[in-house]
Chains A and B, each alone.
Chain A
Amino acid sequence: MTLHAFCEWLSQTPLSQIIQNISWIIPSVQSVHILCIAIVMSSAFMVDLRLLGVIGRDQPTAGYTSRFLTWIWPTLVVLLISGSILIIGEPTRSLENPAFQTKMVLLILAMTTTLVLQRPTFKDPAYWELSGHRIPARVLAVVSLLLWTGIVFAGRWIAYMNISGD
C-alpha cells in the first residue's frame, strides 16, 4: 500500500468523514494544538535560555530543568492526539506534505535533544552546572532552540505546501 493509497483510504473512513463534514472541528482542534505548542515552546525556551545564561542567572539550572522540562512530555501527548485528529481529517494535506514530513523529522530530533538534556538531571539535578558540562549544555540549548523553532515554521508551512489541492 502506497502512502497515497493509505491517505485515500483514511479519508474515506467514517471518523475522517465526520471531521471533514463538521466545519468547527478542525479550527477548534488546531486551537488546542497551538495552545499546547505554546506550552512546549515556552518550556523549552525557558530551559534553553537559562542554560545559555540569558535569563534567571540567580537560580541554578537545576531549578529550570525540573520546573519546565517536565511540562514537555504530557503536553506532547495532547499534541499527538490533536495532531492525529487533524491527520485523520486531512490525510493527504498532512502525511504527503513535505512540510509535515520535515516537521516530524525535526520533532524526533527535538525530542531526542530534550531527552539528552533531561536524563542526566534525574540522577544529578546540578549535572549541567559541573565545569565540564557547561559547553555541551550551551550547544544542546542552541540545537534545541533551533529545532523547536523549525517545528513551528514547518507546521505553519503545511498550509502552504499542500499538494492535495484542497
Chain B
Amino acid sequence: MDLTPLFQWLYDSPVGTAIRENGTLFPWVESVHVLSITLVVGSISIVDLRLLGITSKSRAVSRLTGEVLPFTWVVFVLAAITGGLLFSSNAVKYAHNTFFLAKMALLVVAFLNMLVFHAITSRGIEHWDASPHPPVPARLAGGISLLLWIAVIVCGRWIGFTMTAF
C-alpha cells in the first residue's frame, strides 16, 4: 500500500504548510512534543521500575498504576497530537526516514506489550499486587517496556540528525 498521496496531502494541508513556513511554529510545537514525551517515558518508567521490583516497592502496583497511568495517557495524547503536527510539516520525508519508521515500529511494540500485560499478565494481580517482587512475566513486561521507551527517545533524537532542513 502506497501512502505517499496521503503524506503529500498532509504536506500540502494548511496545517502542514503553516508549521513548515512559519519560523517559530515548528520549535514551539516541538518543545511541547519534547515536554510531553519526557513525561510519557518518565511516568511509564515509574511503573516499569515498580514491576521490576526496583522502586516504589512499598506501594501496591495497582495503586501506582492508578495514580500514574491516567497522567501518562494525558501527556501521551499531547505527544501524539504534537508529533502528528510535526510530521505533517514534512510528511513525505519523515515517512522515508529510518529512525522515524523505527520509532513508530517501537511504539507499536510498546503498545502490544502493554496490551499483553493488561489482558493476560495482570489477571490475578491480587496475588502479587503488594509484593515488592512481582512474578517473572510482570517483571518481563516492565523490562521490555523500559527498553522500548528508551529506544523510542533515542530514535526520536536521531530523526533530527538524519533529516536535512526543509
Given A39-B45, A42-B45, A157-B27, A34 and B39 contact (CB-CB distance below 8 Å): no
The digit string for B68-108, where 1 denotes a CB below 8 A from any CB of A, is 10110000000000000000000000000000000000000
- Give how many A residues have a beta carbon under 8 Å from the other chain's beta carbons: 31
The digit string for B36-59, where 1 denotes a CB below 8 A from any CB of A, is 011101110110000000011011
> What are the residues of chain B within 8 A of A55 when measuring CB–CB?
67-68, 70-71
Are A41 and B27 in touch, CB under 8 angstroms?
A: no
The answer to whether A58 has its CB under 8 Å from any CB of chain B is yes
Q: What's the Cα separation between A152 and B71 when bound, in Å? A: 18
Q: What's the Cα separation between A99 and B158 when bound, in Å? A: 22
> What are the residues of chain B within 8 A of A13 when measuring CB–CB?
none
Are B39 and A35 in touch, CB under 8 angstroms?
A: no
Are A67 and B56 in touch, CB under 8 angstroms?
A: yes
Given A39-B42, A46-B46, A27 and B30 contact (CB-CB distance below 8 Å): no
For chain B, the bracket of interface size reads 20 to 34
Are A30 and B35 in touch, CB under 8 angstroms?
A: no
Residue among B24, B31, B41, B157 making CB contact with A30, cutoff 8 Å: B157
The answer to whether B63 has its CB under 8 Å from any CB of chain A is yes
The digit string for A15-55, where 1 denotes a CB below 8 A from any CB of B, is 00000000100110011001101110111011001000011
Interface SS majority for chain A: helix
What residue in chain A is nearest B34 (Cβ atoms)?
A156
What residue in chain B is nearest A154 (Cβ atoms)?
B31
A-B contact pairs, 14 of them (CB 8 A): A27-B161, A31-B158, A34-B156, A38-B37, A38-B39, A38-B42, A38-B45, A39-B42, A41-B42, A42-B39, A42-B45, A45-B71, A152-B38, A159-B27
> Footprint of B on A, CB under 8 Å?
23, 26-27, 30-31, 34-35, 37-39, 41-43, 45-46, 49, 54-56, 58-59, 63, 67, 149, 152-153, 155-157, 159-160
> Footprint of A on B, CB under 8 Å?
24, 27, 30-31, 34-35, 37-39, 41-43, 45-46, 55-56, 58-59, 63, 67-68, 70-71, 150, 153-154, 156-158, 160-161
